[in-house]
Each structure stands twice: as C-alpha cells, then as structure tokens.
Structure 1
Amino acid sequence: MFSGALGLQSSGRCIRSDAQRGRWLYYVEHQQEAYWLKLQQSIGDLQSETAFLHELAFYQKMQQAVDLHHKLIERDKLSVCLPFDILDVASINDAPANSISQVLCIRDSQTLFSTSEDLSLSDQIHRLILSLTVLERLYGCGYLHGDLKNTHFRLHQNQCYLIDFEQSVNIDAARAVEQTATPRYMAPELFHAQPKSVQSDIYALGVIWLQWLNQQRWFNRSYLDWAYWHCQQLEVELVDRFSMLKPILMRMLAKKKSNRYAAIEEIKLDLARIV
C-alpha cells in the first residue's frame, strides 16, 4: 500500500492513546487518503500486548478467508472489517522503541452512531439496519465481536464496518474465553461470569441504540455500579419520535438472556414490521 517509509515526522501526527498500556495511534494523510496506524509496545502491559496480537491475528484470518474464498465472502469481509493492512514497524520512521514488529493500518472513517440531529427518521432507521447487517455478517464468518461500543461501528465510503477486534472470539469457542468487556455495554449475564454469546453482543447493541436514539450518554459508574445498573436498574425509555421501537429495545435489553433475541434476523423482522 505504501512505498517505502511513511515519514510520519512530516506527514502525520502521533497520539499516545494510553501510556500505561503502551498503545500508540498515528493519524496519517497519504496521497489524498487518510489512515490510522495502531502500534503496541512490548513492554508494560502484557494483557494489552496479548490483546493487540489477538487483533492482528483476527485481521489476518479474515484476509486469509477472503483469499481462499474470494467470491463467496468478499462481500461479507467488506462489510465486517474496515479496510486494513498489516505493516512492518520498520516502515514507521518514528515508531517508539520496543514496538511489536507489526502495525495495524486502517483507513479513516466516521462513527456510524454520530449525532443524529441532522438525519431524517428514515436515515436514522437505516443506520440501525446497517449495524444489524454488519453484525449478522460477522456472525456468518463465525465470530463474536465481544466488546461492542458505539465508536466501533464505522462508516467508510457509504459502507458500514467494525473495528477493534481485540476481544473477538470464535462463536464456538466463546465459553473458554475470559469474560472481559466494557462495563457500560455488558449484558447482565457477563457480570455473573457467563460466556459471551450472540445475545450478549445484541445486548451491547441495544445499549448503543438506546443512548444514540435518545442522544444521551449515561454518566460513568464503577464496575459494581454498572453491574447493579444492568442487572436491576436499567429501564427502556425512548423519546416520542422513536416510541415505536420500544418493544424491540426491550427485547434486545432483556435482563434474562432467555428473553432476549437469539439472532439478528429476528430483530430485522421485527424492525420491518414496525417501520
């Protein structure tokens, strides 16, 4: 993708996104295109290093699947992963010392769930459908995301993509994986050490929808406070404009997993009936 070193000292800016975790981000403009580069140091936080290597492996698996079955799943890959490349750290002129040898490079994009004030009702519903579709295709590739947040849904050239697969896991292997996620979006069962599932992803998506439709972000809480909030306190209330979506949100955010949607297709069908 790039010829020679990127020359970030003159063409990009570096953001030390998390010094304690050794995580670095670069924003680069190159030949009328923009990219984010994600680097990880191999010192400091072993968990973050492992997560970064896990994410690199995920992207490599997705690329290998496309190479092997191009005609079958190219359309799915295009709507799952934001277009990416894996670079050698040597191509980064001012990469920090002790960096992992590979760098994740993804094209610039905007948040799917940005402010909705300038969007028509049909455009807002369309964005809900885009988020369902990209998740459905991810599951079709055999993976859970495992740590969905509003910023993980991206728009690039009118396509919807996902980013940040540090906690992605094969659906069949989810039971054996440590249950870590962002408490703001965690399904109640995850606070009780139950395995991640399609339904825990659906719950996280419901949290994203609820906050976006209401244009509200819940205030920060401690881990225990989030556990209490999700397991007992959370109630589904929507502004009048979206009141017709309340039955769907209530089922997406059902506290008992058995009462929640089991598949994305079920949500799509209910959404089609209502709107």
Structure 2
Amino acid sequence: MSIITSIFNHNFQPTELTLKTKNKSYEFGRRLYTFKNAEQRYWLKYHLADTHSVLEQSFQNELSFYKQFENREISFLLPHHIIHFQEHIIFQDLIEKGEGLLLPDSEDFFADLSAYQEIDEIQQKILSALSALQSFHKLGWGHGDLKTEHFRCFENTCRLIDLEQSFVQESNYQTSLNATPHYMAPELFHGISKTVQSDLYAFGIILYEWLTQSRLTAKTYQDWAVLHCQQLQIQLPDRFKQFLPLLNGLLQKHVTLRVPSADDAIDVLQMT
C-alpha cells in the first residue's frame, strides 16, 4: 500500500494546511497547498473550473498522464492519488467538486553540491537523473517543462513532477508551446515543437548550473533567446572537466548536433 492511499484508510486529519500558490497563479485559479497527516507532509494541487482555460487545460493534461498510467508501477513518479473532492468532505472548505492531485512531500534532487565529495558520487547522481528522464521518454512521452525543481528525491531515487506540459512524442499536435525561457532549447524560440531533445537541452542547463553552482540570468524573453541561441558558452571548474563532453552534447544549439536521446547521453556519461 502506498504512502498516499494509506492516509485515507483511517484517522485522516490534515493539519497545518498552508496555501503555497504564487499570487499571479492564484488569480488565474490555481491552488497549491501543503498539509501534514501524522508525520508526513503532502502537497495538494487543483485548479478552479472556468477561471483560466489554458492553465486549467494544463492541469487536466497532468491528471490525464497520471490516469493513463495509474495501473502501472512507474519508477520515476512520486506516489500519487487523484482526489474527487465531492467524495472527501475533509476538503469541502476548499472546494466542493472537481479533481485534485495529491503527492507526498519530497526533497530537491539537485541539492547542495558540497554534500558530494567524490566524483563517482556526482556521476551516479547525474546517471540517476538521466535514467529517470530515459524512463519517461521510453513511455513515448516528453516532459516539456523540465527545470531544477521538477527533479525530486524520494526514497533515495530520482522522481519527476509537474507534468502539465507533457506531450506525446511524434505527435502532430501539442496543446501549446509553453515553456520556461530559462531552460528553453534554441529551436523552441523559433516556434519548433518540443521533442525529447528539447528536454535534453533543458536538462543540460540544469546540470550546468548545478555543477557550476551558478544561475543563468536574463531580463526579457528576447534576452533569453539571444543567450540560448547565440551567446551560451560552457565552462566547468577543473574538478568537473570530465563532464564537459556530456554537457557539450546536451547543449548543442542545433538540434541535429545534440545527443538524440537519454540513452545516448548516458553512454557519453559512462565513457567519462
């Protein structure tokens, strides 16, 4: 029995309910709460109907992903539960109907780099994250909005969250080209649809910032476009030079030169 479904068996008494939604998202109808039950902390996410059609559709897209694979053991997902609010009176003060997503709290996967003293530990950490992404892609899907905070550590394994922009690979239809400019592959700025390789580019940015303990900055969407399409130059501390071939493969500006899959990225990593 999972950590999620077990909380509904008996004595389910959520405490310390705290709203975590950012102000702008709140105005658009998004709700994100944390609460505790016993000693475990959880996240509750839902969207108010008839408020912001794009955000509402994105949330429904995430729920659809979870529903599609609800009868399979998916190693890269957190334990989860889709709540039908009208069946859970405990949440009636928040919302009376509709669906919400319940997840256990988890830790940042790409935590403080100083906690890892050995290069082998860091390589294994990168391998674990790439393996989660590999498993995602092998389902025939792409994530579509990878960023550092979407990689979580739960029970000592890497998990992926926030699947609102997930997409079916090779599909001729994507609901939108929503992405975070900070992590956007160059081709996305030119209106080309997301692929597994745009996921890999985003992962490259995440990895680069983790290894350098720095953060890319730009003020506007145009500035991000110039940075990713023209200006980005990769340099690593001497200690991490062995990871340059992987980063160079992930962060090629032209998609035809970028590593084609997570499998190939893992191969590059293991050759270092």
TM-score between both structures, scaled by the size of structure 2: 0.90
Aligned to 1:114, which of 111, 114, 130?
Answer: 111
Runs of 5+ consecutive residues of structure 2 not aligned to the other structure: none
- CA distance in 2 between partners of 1:130 and 1:95 (Å): 40
Please report how far the alpha carbon of residue 160 of structure 1 lies from its aligned counterpart in structure 2 after TM superposition: 1.0
Aligned equivalent of 2:63: 56
Contact 1:6 1:93 in 2 (8 A): no
- CA distance in 2 between partners of 1:83 and 1:113 (Å): 20
Alpha carbons of structure 1 residues 38 and 250: separation in structure 2 relative to 1, 3 Å:
same
Alpha carbons of structure 1 residues 103 and 270: separation in structure 2 relative to 1, 3 Å:
same
Contact 1:109 1:154 in 2 (8 A): yes
Please report how far the alpha carbon of residue 239 of structure 1 lies from its aligned counterpart in structure 2 after TM superposition: 1.3
Equivalences for 1:11-160 in 2 at 5 Å?
A: 11-17=16-22, 18-64=25-71, 66=72, 74=73, 77-78=74-75, 80-90=76-86, 91=88, 92-93=90-91, 95-97=93-95, 101-120=98-117, 121-160=119-158
Equivalences for 1:88-237 in 2 at 5 Å?
A: 88-90=84-86, 91=88, 92-93=90-91, 95-97=93-95, 101-120=98-117, 121-173=119-171, 175-177=172-174, 178-237=176-235
The answer to which of 215-224 and 259-268 deviates more is 215-224
Alpha carbons of structure 1 residues 141 and 255: separation in structure 2 relative to 1, 3 Å:
same
Aligned to 1:266, which of 246, 264, 267?
Answer: 264
- CA distance in 2 between partners of 1:95 and 1:193 (Å): 42
Aligned to 1:246, which of 219, 244, 252?
Answer: 244
Please report how far the alpha carbon of residue 115 of structure 1 lies from its aligned counterpart in structure 2 after TM superposition: 1.5
Please report how far the alpha carbon of residue 100 of structure 1 lies from its aligned counterpart in structure 2 after TM superposition: 5.9
Question: Any idea what the Cα deviations from partners look like across 1:77-125, whole Å, max 9, x if unmatched?
Answer: 02x211111012242435545x761110011111111211121232222
Q: Percent identity?
A: 33
- CA distance in 1 between partners of 2:197 and 2:11 (Å): 43
- CA distance in 1 between partners of 2:31 and 2:12 (Å): 16
Runs of 5+ consecutive residues of structure 1 not aligned to the other structure: 67-73
Could you say what secondary structure the match of 1:147 adopts?
A: coil
Could you say what secondary structure the match of 1:176 adopts?
A: coil
Please report how far the alpha carbon of residue 237 of structure 1 lies from its aligned counterpart in structure 2 after TM superposition: 0.9
Question: Any idea what the Cα deviations from partners look like across 1:8-30, whole Å, max 9, x if unmatched?
Answer: 4x443222332222211121221
Over aligned residue pairs, what C-alpha RMSD do you find? 1.8
Could you say what secondary structure the match of 1:216 adopts?
A: coil
Counterpart amino acid of residue 103 in structure 1: G
Contact 2:201 2:250 in 1 (8 A): yes
- CA distance in 1 between partners of 2:13 and 2:92 (Å): 8
Could you say what secondary structure the match of 2:70 adopts?
A: helix
Contact 1:39 1:100 in 2 (8 A): no
Counterpart amino acid of residue 56 in structure 2: E
The answer to which of 222-231 and 26-35 deviates more is 26-35
TM-score between both structures, scaled by the size of structure 1: 0.89
Could you say what secondary structure the match of 1:60 adopts?
A: helix
Contact 1:89 1:95 in 2 (8 A): no
Could you say what secondary structure the match of 2:91 adopts?
A: coil
Please report how far the alpha carbon of residue 197 of structure 1 lies from its aligned counterpart in structure 2 after TM superposition: 0.8
Contact 2:34 2:44 in 1 (8 A): yes
Please report how far the alpha carbon of residue 4 of structure 1 lies from its aligned counterpart in structure 2 after TM superposition: 7.2
Question: Any idea what the Cα deviations from partners look like across 1:188-220, whole Å, max 9, x if unmatched?
Answer: 001111111111111000000000100011224
Alpha carbons of structure 1 residues 125 and 44: separation in structure 2 relative to 1, 3 Å:
same
Counterpart amino acid of residue 153 in structure 1: F
- CA distance in 1 between partners of 2:19 and 2:92 (Å): 9
